[in-house]
Amino acid sequence: MLIKVRKPSEVRSSEITDEKLFWDRRRFLRGAALAAAAASATPLLLGSAAARADASAPTGGKLEPLAKSPYSTSEKLNAYKDITTYNNFYEFGTDKGDPASHAGSLKARPWTIKVSGECEKPGVYDLDDLIKPNALEERIYRLRCVEAWSMVIPWVGFPLKEVVKRFGPTSKAKYIAFETLLDAAQMPGQRPSLFGSVLEWPYREGLRLDEATHPLTILSVGLYGKVLPNQNGAPIRLVVPWKYGFKSIKSIVAMRFIEQPPPTSWNMQAPQEYGFYSNVNPNVDHPRWSQKRERRLGEFLKRPTLMFNGYGDEVAKLYSGMDLTKNY
């Protein structure tokens, strides 16, 4: 029997998620309310311009030198075109092709990150001063999205734990809260419409401190050896490979060290569907679809979903003794 394997660009969103569920979800998202807030702080610039990494190059610019990571998977990579044209980034639209079409309005430089909360060195840091020269590495990670599709992506970045160490979290710091840029002029998906807003902006995410400082957790500034494209979360995004993709927050402008679990965007929107932890878990179905199988973008057949997205040997100990059907 001949099985035709279509190109990733030919796979429709409605084929990744059951069509009825897809449109039900769209109607559900359109009913959300808009509530926007912005943070401000006095800039604190650290380091020297001469010591900045080449991550300040324009989108598509080459990043080098890059170290190879022992944490990388040996699985076949998805193509650069697939990775950069099939995205979830609702600040630029809810269809998978919207970010690539609309993210050109994002200005990725200059860029600062506000650090606050329970830490010794709060302030507003210039992004280029947070990236150590010659410290970038390529990490080939699987990315598993909640809609049952996945990719294998060669991220370029550095461990989040190195930045956390620099800020000096105090003994009270148990979690890190992250925020995405709030700027409707640059991000058209944040603008109110007749249908309401998809989410409450700005986009928020959070990790337990031990998750944030795990060696697998990185801050990415590129992929395929190039500067991170706007539609993939430029100029800096989180990558947590054992969690569903929405946990890997894009275009980060704020990090806050806190004692209690922070509110997170999808958990605020639909707590019965999206938990704080959001570990990839084939045994916990989304209320509207199964998570037991996934389709790798570009492949015709589905494959079994792996616990912790296949990173169980490295991260299962973080959740020892926890009931992961309740702490989903």
- Does a structural domain hold residue 106? yes
Find all residues with CB under 8 Å of 188, minimum gap 6, and list them: 91, 92, 93, 102, 105
Identify whether 327 is part of a domain. no
Considering its fold, how many domains does the chain have in total? 1
- CATH number, position 280: 3.90.420.10
User: Which domain covers residue 172, as residue numbers?
Assistant: 10-319
DSSP letters spanning 141-185? EEEE-TTSEEEEEEEEEEEHHHHHHHH-B-TT--EEEEEE---TT
E strand intervals along 19-121: 67-68, 112-117
The answer to whether the CB of 241 falls within 8 A of the CB of 309 is: yes
pLDDT exceeds cutoff 70 at 149? yes
Q: How far is CA 212 from CA 121, 140, 158, in A?
A: 18, 18, 12
In a domain, 1, yes or no: no
Is 231 domain-assigned? yes
Q: What's the pLDDT score for residue 194?
A: 81
Whether 4 maps to a domain, the answer reads no
| pLDDT digit string, tens, across residues 259-278 | 999 999 999 999 999 999 99
The structure's pTM equals 0.83
Q: Which two tokens mark 154?
A: 């060669």
- Please name the residue that has the structure tokens 């590495």: 137
Q: Is residue 219 part of a domain?
A: yes
- Predicted local distance difference test score (pLDDT) of residue 59: 60
CA distance linking residue 87 with residue 55, whole number of Å: 22
pLDDT top residue among 71 and 35: 71
Arithmetic mean of pLDDT, 20-41: 36
Q: Does 5 have pLDDT greater than 70?
A: no
Half-sphere exposure at residue 322, Cβ-oriented, CA atoms within 13 angstroms? 13
Inter-residue contact 295 to 148 (CB < 8 Å) = yes
